[in-house]
Structure 1
Amino acid sequence: MELSKIPHFTSTRTTHIPLNWKHKHIISAWSWSTVLSYNAGVKKFLNFITQTSGYFSLPATTKQLFKFCLWAGRTDTAPSTGPITSKTLTKYLFAIQAWHLFHGFTYLMESKAQINLVLKACAKKDTEFNLKKEKTAIHIPQLKVLVELLSKGDKAEKAIANLMLVTFWGMCRMKEVTYSKRQGKLCRTDSIMTSDVSFRRSKTNTIATISLRGAKTAKPGEVQIIKLSSKPNKLCPVAAILRRLEEAGNSDTSLFGFFEEGIRNHITREIAMLKISQITISRAFPGITGHSFRVGGASLRHTLGIPVRHICNLGRWKSDSYKLYIKPYEQEDIDNALILLANNSETLV
């Protein structure tokens, strides 16, 4: 938990309170990604205060919250791409509410109905713009190129190659399988450790399971499971996990990390996406993001006729949101995927 990354959330703006173990315990009630998003929301609100009035002390007044929505959202007077969407604005209001709760102030909601009307009006204005970015699926040929190139690199790149295989076949969010900091002690409640992995044999292959704490859709204290089955090719996620465990030795440490001069280095999302982006740009793979691996794994299974209920179970979807991750495959792409999965039986270093 790097508190230096959430300075706006932990401050009342007028004072920077020294955080004791009680504050840290309260923060641990949220996932780290949630706290980071709360910090972004509070930062946006404080930017509004700086640009409009300057003076502020908690709690925020209903008038300030109302004006913030009009300032930040898309309206007739500010219809450009600068304002944030109504969906993001709603998340920021939740962040401001959590900010009040953390510092022991009452979040005033006398104008909740009026604010909801502002949000509704902003949402209507959003529809006039093409705001939605399509989630791009990574396909097997692209995954193969990324894995092969990174597997020939340094220790960090080898770890990222293994991480990609787990993310693709496990239909994971990149944020869930990476770490909040590069070095140092990890918070076990939102970090995948080597001790979180277990194996079992089925009639046809090996099944690896990873206990996932702090998942985006998890309830407080809930542990979700990433289930992976072995593949008879070098894109096998189980083999990828075994390589990470071998590298870690007997240490109970980050699964996706590496030792350098006796110091454990953890793979953060920023490091992983930087390395991946360098290759996707040079190879002209358009639109590849951290989401692309989750989209790719779901889309491939759907194309191969795997029942939706199984896809939702493996990808830990609990609503129809899985539909956003299913992208169509051209027949040529299907043929290429099947050929590559059948013919790539070599072992990666």
Structure 2
Amino acid sequence: MWQDDSFTSRIRDFKASITAHSQTIKSEPAARPLPKNHSRAPPSVATRRSSLILSDTQTRSFTSPSLSILSASTVSQTYSVLSVCLAKSTMDKYGSGLAAFQTFCDSEQVPQASRLPADEFLLCAFAASKAGSMVRSTVQNLISAVRAWHIVNGAPWNGGLRLAYIMNGIEALAPSGKPPRAPVTHRMLELVCTEVDISSNEGLCVRAAAATAFWCQLRLGEIFATSRAVSDQTNIPSRDDLSYDLDAAGSMQLRLPWTKTKRHKGETIIVTRQCGSTDPISALHHHIQSNRPSAFEPLFSFRTPNGSLSCLTKKRFLSICNKIWSSHGLPHTTGHSFRIGGTTELLMGGVDPDVVKTMGRWSSDAFLRYWRALEVVVPLHAERLRAPSTQQRPKALKSAITKKRVRFADARIP
């Protein structure tokens, strides 16, 4: 039986393979021909004990001829760049997808030599085995994992029209989908901001993070560390990434060093002043004043009782929020609900959809897909378009916003 190695570990093996490769083969000018029996096989994406990597003889049949010409340093540089082409989360998902493919091949007793590179019918059979139990997007992710193996190994990809037809069939046979994730409402944010223990440094940090994530439509992974350790947290904003007092209201500018779409190019967002207990500006000021992170320490970190600084993680943040909500009879909520909740609240507040889209850094398709409470949002922007007086529509809109926001909040709070 094939033993699973995570895709992350396989990618990490690049550098080890590259180092060994560079030490055993001397760099040679490109113009200098190599001996005919010389083999310069690409570094493995998996360790040699894994069946995901073909033998050198098998690999040689589909790898680029230039591998036998280029110098070791050039080959090393190429695979070094390739080793960081995917985010860790993506590599982890691909690892699970490759494991599922190998498990399917095991169950069908497909010989190792016939698995990878995979012919189109094997790909179709693998995908078809998930029909009726998985939705199309889930199966597509599994196929993408197998395709990634082919790309990294330089193997031909045989997925074509027949595989596309299979995917259409999977969509037709898909099980009933889950209902869309409910957003975090403004009332839910109020519960967190008013009931979290702000006598503790962690509570102040949670309140500031919740208000900022909601009003700025953030993905929680863009602001929270994966561990409590303060060192080496380069992908999340530090206190120095926050700029103060952009206008008279005190709105701020926050630089995100890493985002899902821009990766390490990062993006800049605006943190706007709001009314009441959910104001992110006030919450950020109190948090920074109490926890005192230095300029280059994570923005959302807090002082422990012994005075050391600890990062607020996504897991800990959601645990605190859900504990508060569950005490009010509300269901468990995921991190993405903050982003879609902030989007919905801004739309319900009458903010122009184009402005909301820009603030949230949405692509057009995703923006529409994640809208919630359309029965509230659409009338706010489409009713009374031909009011007899230009003064009547804003007044009617303001009244409608107040009534429908209350109705929507009541539907979420028992």
The within-5 A match list for 1:118-133 is 118-126=166-174, 129-133=175-179
Of 280, 284, 291, 1:237 maps to 280
Partner of 1:61: 118
Shift of residue 55 of structure 1?
Answer: 6.8
| 1:198 aligned to which of 230, 243, 263 | 243
Taking structure 1 as the reference length, the TM-score comes to 0.77
Whole-angstrom CA distance in 1 between matches of 2:336 and 2:221: 9
Alignment check: 8 A CA contact 1:174 1:269 kept: yes
Post-superposition offset of 1:308: 0.6
Trace 1:15-54 onto structure 2 (pairs within 5 A).
15=49, 26-53=82-109
Aligned position for 1:12: 46
The reply on whether 1:224 has 2:267 as its aligned counterpart is: yes
Q: CA deviation at 1:294?
A: 1.5
Distance 1:294 1:284 in 2: 22
Do residues 164 (structure 1) and 201 (structure 2) align? no
Q: CA deviation at 1:87?
A: 0.8
Task: Provide structure 1 residue ranges, at least 5 long, that are not aligned to the other structure.
Answer: 339-349
Say if 2:141 is the partner of 1:91: yes
Match of 1:312 among 357, 364, 374: 357
Shift of 1:270: 2.2
- The higher relative CO (CA closer than 8 Å, separation ≥ 6) is in 1
Q: Name the CA shift for 1:51/1:240 in 2 (closer, same or farther; >3 Å).
A: farther
Query: What amino acid is aligned across from residue 88 of structure 1 in structure 2?
Result: T
Residue 140 (structure 1) aligned with residue 174 (structure 2): no
Residues 9 and 38, structure 1, Cα contact 8 Å, conserved in 2: no
Match of residue 292 from structure 1: 337
Q: Is the 8 A contact 1:97 1:107 kept in 2?
A: no
Asked whether the 8 Å contact 2:225–2:233 carries over to 1, the reply is: no
Counting aligned pairs with the same residue, the percent is 16
Once residues 5 and 177 of structure 1 are traced to their aligned partners in structure 2, the CA distance between those partners, rounded to angstroms, is: 25
Q: Which amino acid aligns with 2:167?
A: L
Greater C-alpha radius of gyration: 2
CA shift at 1:221, angstroms?
A: 4.6
TM-score by length of 2: 0.66
Quickly say closer, same or farther: Cα 1:106–1:306, change in 2 above 3 A: same
Q: Give me the CA root mean square deviation.
A: 3.4
Partner AA of 1:165 in structure 2: A
**Where do 5+ consecutive residues of structure 2 fail to align?**
13-44, 51-75, 377-400, 410-414
Measure, in 2, the Cα distance between the counterparts of 1:309 and 1:233: 25
